[in-house]
Structure 1
């Protein structure tokens, strides 16, 4: 297993205090857990993955995700079992959309 941590400063979009879980940890998939956290307008993403050596790809996907959502005070945990970048982006978007839906 490999653990990667990314932190993005100066986000603008805050979510409510509702935790959100999407996805399933299984072959070729992943789960995403989103939580509100007091991070002084930052977003932290911790990835635990079975696919070792793909840090640059994870970084590119996380940069793209944060550029789209601009999250602030959000902590995201990802447990991965070899998901493709497209699946990672899909699950992240699902988690944030579900978080936004739960605040309506």
Structure 2
């Protein structure tokens, strides 16, 4: 297992929910947990993945996602089992939609 952590600063905040989960950890998929916490305006991303050597890809995918949304004071935990970047984006979008109060 590889463990990655990224922190993003100077983000916008919104008044969405406090907790959301999307996906399941199974072959080729992942689970994402999004929680609101007091993090001084930061978003912290914590990733556990079964696939080694993709830190730059994970950083690019999560940076693009976080910077496009109001995710200040948010912790994102990702448990990956070999998901492709497209699946990662899908699950992140589902979790963000749930956090904002919409159906996913």
TM-score, with normalisation over the residues of structure 1?
A: 0.92
Q: Deviations over 1:49-99 (max 9, x none)?
A: 000111011111011111211410000100000000010011011101111
Instruction: Give the aligned partner of residue 20 of structure 1.
Output: 20
The number of aligned residues is: 102
SS at match of 1:71: coil
Confirm or deny that 1:80 pairs with 2:80. Answer: yes
Superposition map of 1:1-104 within 5 A: 1-16=1-16, 18-101=18-101
55-64 vs 6-15, which moves further: 6-15
Question: 2 CA distance for matches of 1:43 and 1:80?
Answer: 19
- Structure 1 residue 18: deviation in Å? 2.4
What is the CA RMSD across the aligned residues, in angstroms?
1.3
Question: 2 CA distance for matches of 1:66 and 1:19?
Answer: 16
Q: Unmatched 5+ residue regions in structure 2?
A: none
- Structure 1 residue 14: deviation in Å? 3.2
